[in-house]
Amino acid sequence: MRSGGPYYSGCEYDKQQPHFLDSCFLCRKPLGKNSDIYMYRGDTPFCSQECRQEQIEMDEASEKRLKLSSSSSSSKRSSAVRQNKDSTKEYDTKKAVRTGTVAVA
């Protein structure tokens, strides 16, 4: 064994990773050992109720935008399907259609 030289253990975890409760998720303010920690969605720490509430409001706004964008695209699709059905009804009036139960195995 050599002495005096640097030793590489092969482990990348030698450097200590910061713990997720070390700082506020929003403002990055260090969380004290004896101070309250306000949690949100299970594992997201905040230094104050105000930081936590601000994150909640930002999440709700982004979820609302996502729902609005998905509902507008789905309403466009449903109106296109309705229009397509109306146009095919004109052509289908002369066709005979059998009704009944179909079993598929």
Query: Taking Cα atoms as reference points, which of 23, 24, 22 lies closest to residue 46?
Result: 24
**According to the model, what pLDDT value does residue 69 have?**
87
pLDDT tens series, the chain, 105 aa: 445 555 555 555 556 666 778 899 999 999 988 889 999 998 899 999 999 999 999 999 999 999 888 877 666 666 655 565 555 555 555 666 667 776 666
CB-based burial label for 10 (10 Å; 0-12, 13-18, 19+): exposed
Q: Do 55 and 25 touch, CB atoms closer than 8 A?
A: yes
Q: Quote the CA–CA distance of 86 and 81 in Å, as a whole number.
A: 9
Q: What is the pLDDT of residues 5-22, one digit of tens each?
A: 555 555 555 566 667 788
